[in-house]
Amino acid sequence: MDIEERIKLVLKKPTEEVLTVENLRHLFEIGAPLQHYIGFEISGYIHLGTGLMAGAKIADFQKAGIKTRVFLADWHSWINDKLGGDLETIQEVALKYFKVGMEKSIEVMGGKPEKVEFVLASEILEKGDYWQTVIDISKNVTLSRVLRSITIMGRKMGEAIDFAKLIYPMMQVADIFYQGVTIAHAGMDQRKAHVIAIEVAEKLRYHPIIHNGEKLKPVAVHHHLLLGLQEPPKWPIESEEEFKEIKAEMKMSKSKPYSAVFIHDSPEEIREKLRKAFCPAREVKYNPVLDWVEYLVFREEPTEFTIHRPAKYGGDVTYTTFEELKRDFAEGKLHPLDLKNAVAEYLIDLLEPIRKYFERHPEPLELMKSVQITR
């Protein structure tokens, strides 16, 4: 596969941003080690955003010949008070639930889970000179910048926090260098950590990434944040500014279970969640159901997506691109209820292998029921 095709795979939906494409091309051209990673805190259930958006990109990276890694951020979850802030519970959930949930998510998105390396943060950070790397990075970042970057923990700027939470962003940057990551991947909400990594790359003394004597800058790949299904806090949204703010705040999140479809949800739960979803007729600017259609159903285009309707409402209709479907929706030719039903059935089909797996192996979900999900 030539370099341009590999770049196309990295840029493919749901990628929203690559920092930078030039640097990515450079990595391919010089034959640098292509080591990807995406990190996750360990807390509640895996949803479509965490499982399928990340899974889709992992599948693309594998096709582009990039080594993929999922980083189970147990220490970071402890710092961020997840699962009662109990490290042992966090590690048990990471290995017995999260790993298998991610493997299944990667598989339904066309990736090869057996080729993904799963690394528990404590495996690397309890040994060697990890903390030296953390200090090296910290010496190159101002306190005000660290304070601004706590949004990568799902915290609000200015929120009252304990001191350990200021170490977390520096650890997240160190994770990249310490593991020799050349392709750092996450959702858009994590970009602050990656921008710091790119900026400090050339200044580091401990664990810079070196190839043939050249200090490499990591490439950051950020995927789209799938919207949650809930109604926005303010409606209608008036300005472009307001729109941007609300979109970031409205991402699907495990701490807002009503906003999310989880990968193990039953068909009844999926139908019910979609029935209640925010999806005003003709609204194409802020519409979570359309957002899911754009990034899940039409990740590959053209794709045939059929919406079944009774003959009196126009009969079945098949779309091959998102733009066609969006146009009909905007013109009122496609009713929200018909769209919601079709999306629910699409997800029920897509998630069937995961549901079936958990029916045969209920232990991970039983473990999840027994833990206290604190954040």
Binding residues for L-tyrosine: 37, 168, 172, 175, 190
Q: Rounded to the nearest whole angstrom, what is the least distance from the CB of residue 213 to ligand ATP in the complex? A: 32
Kindly tell me which of 251 and 307 has the beta carbon lying closer to ligand ATP: 251
**Which amino acid appears at position 261 of this protein?**
V
Residue 209 contacts ligand TYR per CB under 6 A: no
Contact 192, 221 (CB under 8 A): no
Give residue 327's identity as a one-letter amino acid code.
Answer: R
71 near ligand TYR, rule: CB under 6 A: yes
Do the Cβ atoms of 194 and 126 come closer than 8 Å?
A: no
172 binds ligand TYR per the rule CB under 6 A: yes
Which residue's CB comes closest to ligand TYR? 39
Amino acid letter, residue 372: Q
Tell me which stretch binds ligand TYR (CB under 6 A): 146-154, 255-263, 274-282, 303-311: 146-154
- Assigned token pair, 93: 């959930």
Question: Pattern 154-173, binding to ligand ATP, x per CB under 6 A?
Answer: x-------------------
76 binds, among ligand TYR, ligand ATP, none (CB under 5 to 8 A by kind): ligand TYR
107 binds, among ligand ATP, ligand TYR, none (CB under 5 to 8 A by kind): none
Residues 250-289 as x/- pattern, contact with ligand ATP by CB under 6 A: -xxxxx----------------------------------
Q: Check residue 57 for interaction with ligand ATP (CB under 6 A).
A: no
Contact between 15 and ligand ATP per CB under 6 A? no
Q: How many residues bind ligand ATP (CB under 6 A)?
A: 21
Calculate the CA dihedral of residues 299, 65, 116, 215 and round it to 10 degrees.
Answer: -110
Half-sphere exposure of 247 (CA within 13 A, CB side): 16
* Closest approach of ligand TYR to the CB of residue 147, in Å: 16
User: DSSP state, 67?
Assistant: B
Alpha-carbon separation of residue 241 from 225, 232, 245, 296 (angstroms):
18, 14, 6, 26
C-beta closer to ligand TYR: residue 175 or 265? 175
209 binds, among ligand TYR, ligand ATP, none (CB under 5 to 8 A by kind): none
Residue 257 burial (CB < 10 Å; 0-12/13-18/19+)? Answer: middle
Residue 305 identity (one-letter amino acid):
F
Q: Other CB atoms closer than 10 Å to residue 198's CB: what's the count? A: 18
Residue 283 three-state SS: coil
Tell the smallest beta-carbon distance from residue 78 to ligand ATP (Å).
14
The alpha carbon of residue 188 and the mean position of all alpha carbons in its chain are separated, in whole angstroms, by 8
| DSSP states of 225-245 | -PBPSSPPSSSS--SHHHHHH
The reply to whether 43 sits near ligand TYR by the rule CB under 6 A is no
SS3 for 279?
coil
* 85 vs 154 by CB, closer to ligand TYR: 154
Annotated binding site: 37, 168, 172, 175, 190, 254
Residue 346 CB neighbour total at 10 angstroms: 18
Residue 215: what are its φ and ψ, rounded to 5°? -75, 115
Q: What is the binding site for ligand TYR (CB under 6 A)?
A: 39-41, 71, 73, 76, 152-154, 172, 175, 190
Residues in touch with ligand ATP (CB under 6 A):
38, 40-41, 47, 49-50, 53-54, 154, 186-187, 189-190, 223, 225-226, 251-255
